[in-house]
Amino acid sequence: MESETDMLLVVDDEPIVRDVLTRRLRLSGYRCEESENAFDAMKKVERGDFSLVLSDIKMPGKDGISLLEEIRSVDADIAVIMVTAMPDVDFAIRAMRLGAYDYITKPFNFEEVLICVERALEKRTLILENREYRAKLEEKVIERTRELLEKTRQKRKLLVNAITSLAYSLAVSDAETEGHSRRVAASAAAIAGRMSFSAREIADIEVAGLLHDIGKIGISKEILKKELSLTASEYEDVKKHPLTAERILQPIEELGDSLKLIRHHHEHYDGSGYPDGLRGEEIPLGSRILLVADAWDAMISDRPESGPLPVEAAIKELEINSGTQFDPDVARLYISMIKGDNKDSPDVKR
Ligand SMILES: [Fe+2]
Ligand SMILES: [Fe+2]
């Protein structure tokens, strides 16, 4: 039994009381030490191997209540029992409020002392076991949550891979479009990583990047290639692609917030975009990020009609259209990332 190895400390300024208590406690199988005052008691307690302290309340120098408070500040797991003369019951009750396990009134019957010590040690063991159990439980919950998150992440990854390859094998158009989507996804996730998004939100933005143009599945390759000379009705067709994407992906509930980000990836900061003409903060921040990443990739890629823009000219475009087409904060952050002065530019707050 654990009580056989428990170390007890008896603190009392009266040598006879200490002597009787320690002798009787040792006879009952406890290891026992004694202190004649609170100062000596604290020195022993700080050594750290006591389970229980039996302390007188009225002692010269420092009283038992102060000792109790000090013991609890050093090690709240030590059970403290106060020993008091009858007229001090009020003190004893105060001590209980301060965390003492119990109190014994003098003159005491040793059987009562023993029961009181056993009860306090049992209570202490229960508290310690309960805490250990809770800690293990918490550990298990954390572990399980991590596993579930990992499974969800893998499931989403599988799903997105399946949708992406399906979309591109049906040939939204070609490998070029697929490369565009992967680059947009990577840049958008990198921008989001510099803002205060959660890992889950960054994953949603990345997935939205991968799938943002999937709605182009219904548009002919010829139209998609003529970027600069579209007729008004052809342009109307192109403008449908965010809504088409939303319709295609709607049944896949695992996509969560990505859908909303895809729907709004062509909204402009000044409200001139499509499909809903949202402006400023009405546009989900993830969509404002996608727009910058999308435009950047389109500008620096080998475009069918105009070829790639040099990086400097593309940066200029981002700057010129900042505040009208692009969210100025996002554009500024991305420009600083492109220029590689990441360390000097402050991260943007959402
Ligand atoms: Fe698009
Ligand atoms: Fe795009």
- The least confident of 102-106, 227-231, 283-287 is 227-231
Q: How far apart are CA 340 and CA 334, in angstroms?
A: 10
Number of H helices, E strands in the chain: 14, 5
Asked if residues 180 and 297 have their Cβ atoms less than 8 Å apart, the reply is: yes
The rounded Å distance from CA 311 to ligand 2 centre is 18
The rounded Å distance from CA 151 to ligand 1 centre is 30
In order of start, what are the domains of the chain with their CATH numbers? 2-135 (3.40.50.2300), 170-339 (1.10.3210.10)
- Check residue 2 and give its pLDDT: 44
Q: How far apart are CA 182 and CA 31, in angstroms?
A: 70
Q: How far apart are CA 61 and CA 106, in angstroms?
A: 21
The kind and range of the H/E element at 333 are: helix 328-339
Could you tell me which residues are beta bridge partners of residue 55? 11, 82
Q: Near ion ligand 1, which residues have CB within 5 Å?
A: 213
Q: With a threshold of 0.85, does the pTM exceed it? A: no
The rounded Å distance from CA 335 to ligand 2 centre is 19
pLDDT single digits (tens) 139-180: 888 888 888 888 877 887 787 777 776 666 555 555 566 688
The rounded Å distance from CA 280 to ligand 1 centre is 19
Could you tell me which residues are beta bridge partners of residue 81? 54, 102
- The least confident of 2-11, 27-36, 135-144, 249-258 is 2-11
Asked if residues 81 and 117 have their Cβ atoms less than 8 Å apart, the reply is: yes
The rounded Å distance from CA 336 to ligand 1 centre is 24
pLDDT single digits (tens) 289-324: 999 999 999 999 877 667 889 999 999 999 999 999
Sheet with 31-35: list strands edge to edge. Answer: 31-35, 7-11, 52-56, 79-85, 102-106
Beta strands in 125-175, from DSSP E residues, in sequence order: none
DSSP structural state of residue 85: E
